[in-house]
Structures are given as structure tokens and as C-alpha cells.
Structure 1
């Protein structure tokens, strides 16, 4: 088996009621809820639940779909159960992936900074689509945080 340091950071799920969804994932699946109070107070765009120390599910309300503009037609993804899958890489892998995508002619979004994820705030990230239209986010937390949890 190949040793691959790429890890799954988070999956964004479209949900009708993020608080009810967090309750389900906590009570039924035993996952730890994150930022539910902040979401309820209007201080976070969505809550999350922790799958393991490296991975979370973000519970995005369908109302966020109209604000999705990271790649063309991303706002239309609200009809699908999954918004995007995020891959956390080391900084060198992050830069190499972006370069490969650009070399192949695959459109990529602008670089974002300090977006919340499974290990806290990521230093940098960007979005792209695979050939089937699935949306991915690539991010890195900085070499000094690769093994840290948030």
C-alpha cells in the first residue's frame, strides 16, 4: 500500500436544519458537535460534527447555496447531498497540486485564508472541480500545524 500523507479534512453536507442535523449526528452517531451555539447565535455560518481527530462534517444550511460562488455554478450544488470534499495537504503538496491543476487547464478558485476546518483555521485553501463536476477544496494548515488538531 502506498504511504500517502493526504488526509480528508472535512465534507460539507447540505442540510435543511443544521441544529437538528447536529443533534442527529451527536445522538445517533455519537459524533461531537462543534459551533452549534455559535451558529444558533448567528456567529458562525454553519455548525460541524467531529468524525475523528482529523475529520469533520460541516452541516451547511441550504440557504448558503445562493452565496456559493467559489467555482462557476457552485450555487447549483444544493440539490445534491454533498457540497464539496476537502483535502488537507502539507504546504508543499498544496502548492504542487495547484500547479498540476493549472498545468492541466483545470480552473481553480482564488486562494482563501483562515477558513475553519477540522484542525482550526487553515492557512490557505482553494477550490476546483473534478472531470465529473464534483467540487473539491485543497488546503494546508502550515507545516508547523500538520500534526496539530484544532
Structure 2
């Protein structure tokens, strides 16, 4: 496994986060939440609705997506023993790193949409050191997200 030698310096051989799969009750509604409240680009929603793909996704950035897998898919998860039981299995949270302006815009959109948000914390440690500000929110399926920005 290759890693970056310094924060912020990425190469084609650097290990990156490709996707996170979230179990959701309604993938179309979840995609709508991530588009409207979080500001992420929905992917494959029409194809999912037409029955052409198993789940839609939303784009976090050019390299990373969140897959919005319906809980009904859990029974088909057979790649490893115990995989089917992973639906609803807890993940503490997923953290999104944003610019200062995007951080403020996200918080405003969430509050405008009556999505509860935590207080703003300062100096939380993460992949790039201590974040200037961070807060938490949940999606409609209970998945917890942290939003942060660095100095």
C-alpha cells in the first residue's frame, strides 16, 4: 500500500478513498438530500429508477463517491461471510473536508432545510492536521457526517 510522503502531495500511486457505501431506505430520496442539502452531484438516479443499475451514487469530488445502496440489497451481499449482515452495521461517521466558503454554505443549507447540526468545534484532528472548524449532521437514514475545513 502506497501513501503520500507529505500532506497535500498526491501522486497516481497514492492510496485514495474511492467510495463509501451507505445503506439507505430510499435511494432516490437520499440522492435528493445529498444534492439539495449537501450540494453533491447525483449520479445514476434515472438509471436506478429505470431498474438499470442496483443503486445511485453522489459525487463528493473527482475521485470519491458515496454509493446509496438500498437496504433490500443486503441479502445479495455474499462477497465475504457475514457481508449480508452489514446492512445497518454502524459506521461512526464520514468526514467531508470543504473550503471555508463551502463549509459555511453547507451549514446554511442544512439549517434552512431544518436538518439538525451540532455546535462548531475547533482544532479537531484529521487527515490534514487540525481543522479550523467542524460540525456534525445526520442524513435522513441516520448516517452521521462531519463537515470541516482547514485553515
TM-score category of the 2 structures, normalised to the smaller one: 0.5 to 0.7
Greater relative contact order structure (CA < 8 Å, 6+ sep): 1
Q: Which has the higher strand share?
A: 1
Number of residue pairs matched?
A: 83
Question: Among 64, 85, 90, which residue is 1:55 paired with?
Answer: 64
2:16 maps to 1:11:
no
Report the equivalent of 2:78. 69
The structure having more radius of gyration, on CA atoms, is: 2
Report the equivalent of 1:21. 30
Q: Which digits, 9 at most, give the CA deviation of each residue in 1:62-95, with x for residues without a partner?
A: 000000001001000012255xxxxxxxxxxxxx
Q: Aligned partners of 2:39, 2:90: CA distance in 1, in Å? A: 21
Q: Aligned partners of 1:16, 1:24: CA distance in 2, in Å? A: 13
TM-score normalised to the size of structure 2? 0.52
Q: 1:43 to 1:74 in 2, by over 3 A?
A: same
| Corresponding residue SS for 2:18 | strand
Superposition RMSD on alpha carbons, in Å? 1.8
1:95-134 pair list within 5 angstroms:
none
Asked whether the 8 Å contact 1:34–1:48 carries over to 2, the reply is yes
2:45 maps to 1:36:
yes
Unaligned runs of 5+ in 1: 83-150
- Return the offset for 1:2: 2.3
